[in-house]
Amino acid sequence: MTEQLLDAACELEAPDVPAHAMDKVLDQYEAKVYKNRKKHMVTVDHTLETPQEIAANVRTVPGMLTHRGCCFAGCKGVVVGPLKDALAIVHGPIGCSFYTWGTRRHKARAGEDGLNLVPYTFSTDMRETDIVFGGEKKLMAAIEEGIELFHPNAVMICSTCPVGLIGDDIHAVAARAEEKFGVKCIAFSCEGYKGVSQSAGHHIASNQFIRRVIGEDDTPPTGKYSVNVLGEYNIGGDGWETERLLRRCGIEVVSVMTGDGSVADMRRAHTAGLNLVQCHRSINYIAEMMNTQYGIDWIKVNFVGVNATCKSLRAIAQYFGDAALVDRVEAVIIDEMEIIDEDLQYYRGKLKGKTAALYVGGSRSHHYQQLLRDFGVSTVLAGYEFAHRDDYEGREVKDSIKIDADNKNIENITVAPVDGKYHVRFSPEKLEELKRDIDVFEYYGGMIKEMGNGTLMVDDLNHFETEEFVKMLKPDVFFSGIKDKFVLQKGGILSRQLHSYDYQGPYAGFRGAVNFGHDLVMGLYTPVWSKVVPPWRTEPALAGTIGGEE
Amino acid sequence: MARRNEPPQVKERGALVDLNVNPCKMCMPMGSSTAAFGVQGCVTILHGSQGCATYIRRHMATHYNEPVDIASSALTEQGTVYGGEGNLHKGIDNLIRLYDPAAICVSTTCLAETIGEDVAGMLGRWREKHPDSKVTFVPVASPGYGGSQFDGHFRFLRALMESVEMRPQDAPPRQLNLVCGPMSPADMRFLKRLVASFGIEAVVVPDLSENLDRARLPVYDRTPAGGTPLARIATMAGSALTIELATFVPDGCSPGAYLHDRFGVPCTRLNLPVGLRDIDALVDELTAFAGVRMPAALAEERGRYLDAMIDSHKYNAEGRAVVFGEPDFCYAAVRLCVENGVVPVVTAAGSRCPGFEEELRREVREAADRFLVDRWEVLEDADFGDIERLAVELRANVMIGSSDGRRIEDARGIPLVRCAFPIHDHVGGQRVRTLGYEGSLTLLDRITNALLQRKEEGFRAAIRDEFYDNTLLSQAHRHRESASHELLAEANAALAEDRATAPGAAQAARPAAPGAAQSSLPVILSGARSAESKDPALALARKTAQHPCFNGGCASENARIHLAVAPACNISCNYCVRKFDCANESRPGVASAVLSPNEAFERYRLAKERVPNLTTVGVAGPGDALADWERTRATLELVAQDDPDMTFCLSTNGLLLPRFADDIARLGVTHVTVTMNAVDPAVAGRIYRFARLDGVTYTGEAAGAVLLANQIAGIKRLVELGVAVKVNTVLVAGVNDGCVEDVGALCAKLGAAYHNVMQHIPVAGSVFGDLPQVSRTRLDEVRKRCEAHLPQMYHCRQCRADAVGKLSEDLVRAVEEAEGRRAAEPVLADPVVATLVVPRADGARTRHAPLRIAVASRSGSVVDAHFGQAASFMVYETDGTVVRYVETRETERYCTGQEACDPRAKADRLERSLAAVRDCAAVLALRIGQAPADRLRACGIAPVCTCDAVRPAVLAAAAELSAGMTTIEFKEAASL
């Protein structure tokens, strides 16, 4: 039954995307911007002989109302922020600290040590005098106060724009503080101007975790099969649902990076049997480096979507290669499917044939297409905010990515096997076999391979393009974030936030899929839409004028 | 945290100076970009890295529920080295192309200011390149380290005055300038209406009223149409008067001062028109300026506000407020509080502001003196670390400010009135009203109601603290978090001492405490036996011997009945699922009425007729027997009148035991089971999600401590009164399995008679649902170890709350059938029942009978579960007017999550569900799939899809059924 159900969902009619939609948007730009933005847009065509290429992870055009954040946001807001036992001090003026306070819904509950610092935000609140005379002393005092007051397992110091410019040596302060107070202090040079988006911050955070956290505590896992879940930030409880599933299958989760995660768990991450990479963009660095240092293999998983979850669980079982685990995983899948089956069918009945556009993050736009497909919803446009080319085109293009001025400033650390902690899991022959049999074994194929011919892939979609594409593509729902939510929904089209889930979720795993189906149906069938018909539903595309061209 | 004047060498909690814990302010660009929305055709570009614009847009969008377009020059590392002129020029070009703005606010950030960007020069060079451009630039120096959003707001306004080419000659006669500080768009709309009602022509800056609170338009206008036009701003230099509605305008940023110094426009600075005094001041000013009388409608509004002040003064007099946020907001809210008798015990501005402390102290002192409040604080540069500490120290009972106070609200139970930017967790931030008589009235009502609600929730606690003198209990209550550890240690030590001086009591096979016989309490025990009446301990011994739980040897002969009269519970155990068998206490009135005392008595009578050797009557939930003590008491009294020889027992979590222990003994209850799962509050804190006592909800360790303190006091008191106490402990793997022995040891010291260690049954949906079950072997090991302290109960069956019969055979069905027959007897039939005609499948015969209807519900109060997903059904009977809960029927065993999960072993779920509802006339569910619906119909059961509350839904279904419809379908709203 399960298989039939899943297969049925995969048969999707190709969405109806107007030809030349892309050109019609680009035509409105002046020549320079046209040239720049054209490289960021692809009308997917799998019939071409050479794979299509998209420009990504390059500078945003100023003044274009990008939805991208900064390096600091990627480091403090995304990766470091969810750690519940670390005290993350924002070294800088007050705004940056305030804006990362409770902004992302990475949920956490106190662990055994009772620590949960996620509801807090800490800042050195730099003033004019600190900018002039330097803020190192203030930072040192703030660390001391933080440790005295909250007894964290570690202190994470995240710098903001002015810190790098005035030359505060936060790494030296961290080292002194660590020595003085006996609490691990890690500095992150994640000034907002670094890189071209939050992606730079993910990399900087990953480097420090590899250098200073992972590999310190050798307490082995108790279970036979153990994993780390990388790039799962527990938005709306997704991580909890993922962990529940893994545990049900008899798979021990050593650490989660970093949703509801802790420094304490991360220190023993190297003892796990396998790394699962949920968000490839933000954390593939750690998976690769841990592979070199400790010999831990990784697979790209996706627990968003019913099919995707089944596939991921099976890949894990296949990797460990134990018949008992394979059987257990199948049993869990059958049981979970049985629970959601009726709901899934109901919501699919309501959603089949709808179309969607997605513009989020560096992985979600791909992950959620898989969940949407489970409900018979096809995607007409998808784009990432801060992904790199490999997230669009697959890891095979990694080596051909040009390093530009913005990216070469982001430190790329080289690691070597760690004595006594490096363990070979499988023979080279066996590894080759795994690579052949498991298509996600140390490989991510990117988003494009799963998008239909004629659909659009747009990188760093801006406010203006969003409006124009919506007019032409007329999707039933647009998945993005708070910044374009109101433009869309006041225009009469359903907007669902995939960063914060509009205070709903979890959407991961089997039961999460039902939540998602419910929320989507509820959104599409709300009575208010009968009162507000978007004008472009009735008018021909591009009839209006655009700003500046009266 | 706030800088204090005291010497910094003493570093105690709260006296921090270098670490800001949860900021109570934002940065300058937030203020400048918000204010820029008040100018028609103005867009903002932030000169700096793009994160600044992204964060600010995100925060504004959440508060205003509107799209917020703010551009960025997106400076990168290269820009920090070579300067950002290229980026800024390119950004401006693109903005003009896409937005065609009338004005561009170029607001700097930390980055631009730190590298020393010469924005004026850059804009000049841009002009040289674009000599024809008509766009007006408003450059604002707004580094994040230079001040808060409050400063940013005024810096923009000042820069606006300086940037717009003024044309005083274009001003109409008697024009008024109205300069607004930070306030909601709705409040600005009010101000515009107010001046118009005086017939005054006014230029309002900024005017956010439309741009950040738009009526819905079919087409999104990228550059919002609202806001004050530049052409009107240009006439401000020729106005007759400027009124500046801001008390603490930062030095050098006053638009009014600029217009005065440069163009000679007189300027009056007024407080925000909040509260009678300050609104009157504005109204007087406008009256004088317009030369007209106060409009009648406004006079009426004023009267209504006065009326409201009188109506709520008593409640407000109990108010101890925390006011936090921007300086002007704090001042306005404090003045409103003071004139209504609310004492602002903590006033905290997040930023530093000259003159603020002095002004505020003067204001608060007046109210504090009047109400004899000797300690209150006014802080500037405060963070939420300071605010929380002081709010607790100074016993605040209401907070007034932005939604950033919500964490304190959660942690400390102090209600928060959200009325200032930012409001992130509620909708409608853009519509908040605080200004004018109406706005003040709205705000005042919200403050008063927050106080009233808190009082409503907490007054029992206050009364009990005052009048109920159980030292241990009230101490635990007062020192709930900090002192609970010491208190418990003290209690344990004292008890150990007690026990040591009372030898023999610890191993109480005969559990009466020595002191009990001398008790002057009228303990009613079976009166007929003279020996027993002289020594209650004898009666207790006899009853214990007959109790199937307390005496394993008699379990095969003696039967008991559990009367499920206690639906409410005051704690939430992580191993318990309250979905079906335990209506949620937090929603009184919607609790699924289990059995009323009278119904329970009827059931007991029936059971007594049919179940041989019924010796024991117990109340074991489904909630806590003491949570609604009146129901339990009434039930037991009825039974006691019928048969005083019956053994009564109760089971409870012990939270209310000290309060009712005497009552319990007086009623003749001889056996009480207390569920105690740990002796360490920290461990207990992991087992209980919350404990609710007298309207106060404790969580975590505090919940554990409060519960434990009461359990200890309660058991001690019961033992003193001669009641046999059994202690139940749920053995939860990895949670309390290491310390169950301690529970046994403590309870032995307290004088408990019996200990029952039970396996935790992992229930899907509970917090502990995924924990493995402790094995039988491990359970026996633990019991063996506990045996060193107390006799163990090895024969526990973990019965339901409505069990009847011997432990080994549940006769609940037999009794239910008997109840059914009795209901069908014409003599007993309710007249309403007789009128209900149910068409049967054969159509020939009608029958007068209550209808059985099965309900799929998770919450227990609303039909909210899918048929296929329901793990159980609640079965109700109705005669068309009265709905009676019958029972909950399981459809499947819960999955333990760890045991092998063999799909073949699972029976067809649909068939199981069908079997569970076979005798019902209808099934109510949120949704029923096509296939199951067809199967139900084939079985003569009507599938009904609804989302109504249980009782109305059952009644509606019964009405439809009796009207002759065999199937009812849920009709989807036509509009969908």
CA A162 to CA A175: how far, in whole Å? Answer: 21
In this predicted structure, what is the pLDDT of residue B692? 80
CA terminus-to-terminus distance, chain A: 59
Place B488 in a pLDDT band, splitting at 50, 70 and 90.
Answer: low
Contacts A128 to B, Cβ<8 Å? 143, 145-146
Average pLDDT over residues B45-64: 95
- The domains located in chain B, with CATH, are 28-163 (3.40.50.1980), 168-290 (3.40.50.1980), 296-459 (3.40.50.1980), 476-502+529-805 (3.20.20.70), 825-962 (3.30.420.130)
Mean pLDDT throughout A380-407? 94
**Could you tell me which of B873, B943, B944 has the C-alpha nearest to residue B913?**
B873
Nearest 10 degrees: Cα torsion A405, A407, A411, A413: -120
What pLDDT shows up at residue B551?
60
Nearest-by-CA chain B residue for A335: B903
Give me the pLDDT at residue B880, please: 79
Confidence of residue A403 (pLDDT cuts 50, 70, 90): confident
Interchain contact, A63 vs B909, CB within 8 Å = no
CB-nearest partner of A70 from B49, B145, B902: B49
Q: Does B52 sit within 8 Å of A95, measured CB to CB? A: yes
Half-sphere exposure of B938 (CA within 13 A, CB side): 8
The C-alpha of A446 sits at a distance from chain B's nearest C-alpha, in angstroms, of: 26
Q: Would you call B75 and A193 a contact, using CB atoms and an 8 Å cutoff?
A: yes
Query: Could you tell me how many CB contacts below 8 A there are between chain A and chain B?
Result: 297
Picking from A446, A493, A445, A437, the residue whose alpha carbon sits closest to that of residue A470 is A493
| Residue B822 pLDDT > 80 | no
Residues of A in contact with B141 (CB under 8 A): none
Q: What is the pLDDT of residues B722-765, one digit of tens each?
A: 888 888 888 888 888 878 888 888 888 888 888 888 877 776 66
Q: Where are the domains of chain A?
A: 71-192
Provide, as residue numbers in chain B, all residues whose Cβ is less than 8 Å from the Cβ of A548: 96-100
- Count helices and strands (H / E) in chain B: 34, 31
Interface probe for A, chosen from B63, B100, B145, B151 (most Cβ of A below 10 Å), is B145
Taking the mean position of all CA atoms in its chain, how far away is CA B305? 30
Chain segment A233-247, per-residue pLDDT in tens: 999 999 999 999 999
Instruction: In whole angstroms, give the CA distance from residue B151 to residue B245.
Output: 15
Alpha carbons B58 and B52: distance in angstroms, whole number: 10
Cβ pair B271, B281 in contact under 8 A? yes
Contact A406 B77 (CB under 8 A): yes
Q: How would you list the strands of the sheet with A477-480, edge to edge?
A: A41-43, A456-458, A378-383, A355-359, A477-480, A494-497
Tell me which residue of A119, A70, A56, A142 sits closest to A448, measured CA to CA. A56
Mutate to test the interface with A, among B20, B59, B767 (most CBs of A within 10 A): B20
Do B110 and A93 count as a contact with CB atoms less than 8 A apart?
yes
Which pLDDT belongs to residue B684? 84
In the numeric block, which tokens belong to residue A442?
Answer: 């140390």
Is the distance from CB of B671 to CB of B726 less than 8 angstroms?
Answer: yes
pLDDT greater than 70 at residue A12: no
Task: Tell me the pTM.
Answer: 0.69
Q: How confident is the model at residue B462 (pLDDT cuts 50, 70, 90)?
A: low
Bond into B658 cis (ω within 30) = no
pLDDT band at B503; cut points 50, 70, 90: very low
And the tokens for B640?
């006691």
Contact A70 B217 (CB under 8 A): no
Contacts of A59 in chain B (CB under 8 A): 74, 76
What are B893-945's pLDDT values in tens digits? Answer: 433 333 333 444 334 667 778 888 888 889 998 888 777 888 888 888 888 88
Tell me, what's the pLDDT at B464?
Answer: 61
What pLDDT does B556 receive? 54
> Dihedral sign, CA of A536, A539, A540, A543?
negative
Chain B partners of A94 at a C-beta cutoff of 8 Å?
20, 23, 25-27, 144, 148
CA–CA min distance A183, chain B (Å): 17
3-state SS record for B815-831: HHHHHHHHHHCCCCCCH
Backbone angles phi, psi at B756, to 5 degrees: -125, 105
Give the residue-averaged pLDDT of A115-123: 95
- Distance, in angstroms, between B858 CA and closest chain A CA? 15
Express as a percent the part of chain B with pLDDT over 90: 42
For residue A541, pLDDT beyond 50: no
Tokens of A507: 């959407």
B108 close to B120: Cβ distance less than 8 angstroms? no
Q: Is B264 left (phi over 0), alpha (psi -120 to 50) or beta?
A: left
**Residue-wise pLDDT tens digits, B601-642:** 887 887 777 777 777 888 776 778 888 788 888 888 888 888
Structure-token pair, residue B704: 């554990």
pLDDT band per the 50, 70, 90 thresholds, residue B823: very low
Is the preceding peptide bond at B235 cis, omega within 30 degrees of 0?
no
Residues of chain A found within 8 Å of residue B976, distances taken between Cβ atoms: 525, 527
pLDDT at A58 over 80: yes
Cα angle, residue A132 at apex, residues A130 and A134 outer, rounded to 5°: 50
Q: Which of B51, B90, B144 is nearest residue A62 as measured by Cβ atoms? A: B90
Q: Place A545 in a pLDDT band, splitting at 50, 70 and 90.
A: very low
Antiparallel, parallel or unpaired: β A154-159 and A86-91 = parallel
**pLDDT, tens digit, 9 for 90 and up, residues B371-407:** 889 899 999 999 999 999 999 999 999 999 999 999 9
Helix (H) or strand (E) holding A154: strand A154-159
Q: Which residues of A touch B88 (CB under 8 A)?
A: 62
- Contact A548/B17, CB-based, under 8 Å? no
Distance from CA of A463 to the nearest CA of B (A): 8
Describe the strand order of the beta sheet including B688-693 as a list of residue ranges.
B571-573, B688-693, B696-699
Whose tokens are 């004047």? That residue is: B5
What mean pLDDT value characterizes chain B? 79
Q: Which residue of A has its CA nearest to B868?
A: A342
**Quick one: average pLDDT of B88-101?**
93
The yes-or-no verdict on residue B121 having pLDDT over 80 is yes
Contacts of B112 (CB under 8 A, 6+ apart): B47, B48, B75, B84, B119, B143
Residue B358 CB coordination number (10 Å): 10
Out of A198, A406, A547, the one facing B100 most closely (by C-beta) is: A547
Asked if A406 and B220 come within 8 Å (Cβ–Cβ), the reply is no
Distance from CA of B897 to the nearest CA of A (A): 6
Between these two residues, A430 and B561, which has the higher pLDDT value?
A: A430
Which range (A478-492, B358-372, B618-632) has the least confidence?
Answer: B618-632
Contact A486 B66 (CB under 8 A): yes
Confidence band of A32 (pLDDT split at 50, 70, 90): confident
Cα separation, B6 vs A537, in Å, equals: 67
Mean pLDDT, rounded, of chain A: 92
Q: What is the mean pLDDT of residues B576-583?
A: 46
Whether the complex's predicted ipTM is more than 0.90 is answered with yes
The answer to whether B106 touches B138, Cβ cutoff 8 Å, is: yes
| Best mutation target, A28, A158, A193, A247, to test chain B (most B CBs within 10 A) | A193
Furthest-apart CA atoms within chain B: distance in Å? 114
Candidates A27, A96, A98, A109, partner chain B, best to mutate (most B CBs within 10 A): A98
- The alpha carbon of residue A406 is apart from the nearest alpha carbon of chain B, in Å, by 7
Query: In the β-sheet with B804-805, what is the strand arrangement from edge to edge?
Result: B754-759, B724-731, B669-675, B647-652, B614-619, B559-562, B804-805
- Residues B680-707: what's their mean pLDDT? 81
A71-192 belongs to CATH 3.40.50.300: no
Ordered DSSP codes for B159-181: HHHHHS---GGGPPTTEEEEEE-
**Which chain A residues contact residue B148 at CB under 8 A?**
94
Percent of chain B with pLDDT over 70: 77
* B577 pLDDT above the threshold of 70: no
Q: Would the CB atoms of A95 and B27 count as touching at under 8 Å? A: yes
Query: Which among B273, B336, B279, B327 is positioned nearest to B154, based on CA atoms?
Result: B327
> Would you place residue B795 in the very low, low, confident or very high pLDDT band (cuts 50, 70, 90)?
low
CA gap B831, B950 in Å, rounded: 23
3-class state of residue B202 by DSSP: strand
> For residue A93, which residues of chain B lie inside 8 Å, CB to CB?
27, 110, 143-145
* Model confidence band, residue A386 (pLDDT cutoffs 50, 70, 90): very high
Report whether B548 contacts B554 (CB < 8 A): yes
Label residue B216 by pLDDT band (50, 70, 90): confident
Enzyme catalytic residues of A: 70, 73, 104, 202
- A509-512, long-range: CB < 8 A, 24+ apart: A509/A238, A509/A241, A509/A242, A509/A244, A509/A245, A509/A303, A509/A309, A509/A336, A510/A245, A510/A306, A510/A309, A510/A336, A510/A337, A510/A339, A510/A340, A511/A241, A511/A336, A511/A339, A511/A340, A512/A238, A512/A241, A512/A303, A512/A304
Stated as kind and residue range, the H or E segment containing A245 is helix A238-248
Mean pLDDT of B574-582: 55
Q: What is the arithmetic mean of pLDDT over B822-827?
A: 33
Select from A59, A145, A192 the Cβ nearest to the Cβ of B18: A145
More confident residue, A394 or B733: A394
**Chain B residue closest in CA terms to A29:** B97
For residue B318, pLDDT beyond 70: yes
Q: What is the pLDDT averaged over residues B114-142?
A: 96
Residue A204 pLDDT: 97
Q: Note every long-range contact of B528-531, with CB atoms under 8 Å and residues 24 or more positions apart, other chains counting.
A: B528/B644, B528/B645
Residues B417-443 have pLDDT tens digits of: 999 999 999 999 999 999 999 999 999
pLDDT attached to residue B540:
66
**Does B532 score more than 60 pLDDT?**
no
Calculate the alpha carbon distances from B122 to A65, B46, B84, B92 in Å: 21, 14, 9, 11
Q: Is the pLDDT of residue B222 over 80?
A: no
Tell me the mean pLDDT in the region A412-438: 94
Which residues does chain A have within 8 Å of residue B869's beta carbon, measured at their own beta carbons?
Answer: 339, 342-343
Of B126-135, B302-311, B525-534, the poorest mean pLDDT is in B525-534
- Assign B330 to helix, strand or coil: helix
The C-alpha of A118 sits at a distance from chain B's nearest C-alpha, in angstroms, of: 11
Give me the torsion for CA of B536, B537, B540, B542, rounded to 10°: -110
Contact B51 A63 (CB under 8 A): no
Give the mean pLDDT of A400-426. Answer: 91
**Within 10 A of B813 (CB to CB), how many other CB atoms are there?**
11
A101 token code pair: 């306070």
Retrieve residue A162's tokens. Answer: 């002015």
